[in-house]
């Protein structure tokens, strides 16, 4: 595929070019993921005046694991530098800040769709729907550049549904050529499941709940991982080679090892080393 299709650099968070939007716009509740409560629109107590996190190096140790899992797919810099033209929420009116915080989650969803569509276009097996995927990609890219007012009222859920039809077709095509029984585990409750060494080649794990599941040594080659909840799942020595629609936030929420084999589009989370 052309470089512009294969390259997803712009779909990775660049905090240097963002105004700390995820640390302000989004709410979080005191839990195992966050040490305190914070309502939407209120800056996190750890956010500094330069929009950097004051405890970034020790987020997990200080009870902010959720921050290390999150990724905006590049929406932060898109909203900060493009949609709002580099105008900081701190220096504008309250209405300006409110609108920026309102738009950010919408663009984040659009950028996540861009991630999936870009990957879908890199799959040779999905060639029968490449034209439709490319059209959906171009449309989604245009949407991310709308004005703040347009984005604030945009029906992102309806657009997600349109794109999902194409992603489902992509999944079917990509998994059709894989050998073995292709298990359908869409939306399955597999929380805490003992799947050590399981053969899940070509499985559809779309939206499956794999929280705290034991996937040690599991074979997940060519599996559809879109929306799978991997919080606390053990991926030690698992093989996810060729697994698609897998995102960095999913891996960041899981456990794994240097022996865990991953697609080239994602990386071994740094904190995995703590479990070795």
3-state SS, the chain, equals CCHHHHCCHHHCCCHHHCCCHHHCCCCECCCCCCCCCECCCCCCCCECCCCCECCHHHCCCCCCHHHHHCCCCCHHHHHHHHHCCCCCCCCCCHHHHHHHHHHHHHHHHHHHHHHHHHHHHCCHHHHHHHHHHHHHHHHHHHHHCCCHHHHHHCCHHHHHHHHHHHHHHHHHHHHHCCCCCCCECCCCECCCCECCCCECCCCECCCCECCCCECCCCECCCCECCCCECCCCECCCCECCCCECCCHHHHHCCECCCCCECCCCCCCCHHHHHHC
Alpha-carbon span 22 to 155, nearest angstrom: 21
> Do residues 198 and 219 lie in contact, with contact meaning Cβ atoms separated by under 8 Å?
yes
**Weakest-pLDDT range from 56-65, 110-119, 145-154:** 56-65
Q: Write down the pLDDT at residue 4.
A: 43
Tens of pLDDT, residues 13-26: 999 999 999 999 99
CA 268 to chain CA centroid, Å, is: 15
Q: Flag whether pLDDT at 133 surpasses 50.
A: yes
Tens of pLDDT, residues 163-209: 999 999 999 999 997 866 668 899 999 999 999 999 999 999 999 99
- pTM here is 0.92
Q: How far is CA 17 from CA 51, 114, 245, in A?
A: 10, 19, 26
- Match 């709940």 to its residue by tokens: 209
Tens of pLDDT, residues 5-64: 456 788 999 999 999 999 999 999 999 889 999 999 999 999 999 999 999 989 989 999
Tens of pLDDT, residues 208-249: 999 999 999 999 999 999 999 999 999 999 999 999 999 999
Q: Flag whether pLDDT at 117 surpasses 50.
A: yes
Question: Which candidate, 224, 217, 219, places its Cα nearest to that of 256?
Answer: 217
Q: Flag whether pLDDT at 266 surpasses 60.
A: yes
CA-only gyration radius of the chain, Å: 19
- The model's confidence at residue 275, banded by pLDDT at 50, 70 and 90, is low
């Amino acid at each position: 595929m052309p470089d512009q299709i294969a390259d997803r650099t712009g779909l990775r968070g660049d905090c240097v070019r963002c105004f700390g939007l995820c640390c302000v716009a989004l709410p979080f509740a005191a839990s195992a993921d966050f040490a305190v409560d914070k309502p939407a629109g209120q800056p996190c107590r750890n956010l500094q005046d330069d929009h950097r996190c004051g405890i970034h190096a020790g987020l997990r140790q200080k009870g902010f694991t959720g921050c290390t899992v999150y990724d905006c797919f590049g929406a932060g810099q898109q909203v900060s530098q493009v949609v709002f033209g580099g105008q900081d929420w701190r220096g504008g009116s309250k209405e300006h800040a409110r609108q920026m915080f309102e738009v950010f989650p919408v663009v984040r969803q659009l950028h996540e769709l861009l991630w999936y569509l870009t990957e879908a276009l890199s799959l040779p097996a999905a060639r029968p729907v490449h034209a439709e995927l490319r059209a959906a990609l171009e449309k989604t890219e245009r949407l991310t550049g709308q004005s703040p007012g347009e984005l604030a009222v945009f029906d992102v859920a309806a657009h997600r549904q349109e794109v999902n039809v194409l992603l489902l077709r992509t999944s079917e095509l990509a998994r059709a050529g894989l050998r073995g029984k292709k298990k359908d585990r869409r939306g399955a409750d597999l929380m805490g499941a003992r799947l050590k060494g399981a053969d899940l080649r070509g499985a559809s794990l779309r939206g499956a709940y794999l929280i705290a599941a034991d996937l040690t040594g599991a074979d997940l080659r060519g599996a559809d991982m879109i929306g799978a909840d991997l919080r606390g799942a053990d991926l030690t020595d698992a093989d996810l080679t060729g697994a698609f629609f897998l995102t960095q936030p999913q891996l960041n929420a899981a456990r794994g090892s240097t022996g865990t084999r991953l697609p080239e589009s994602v990386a071994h989370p740094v904190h995995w080393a703590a479990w070795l």
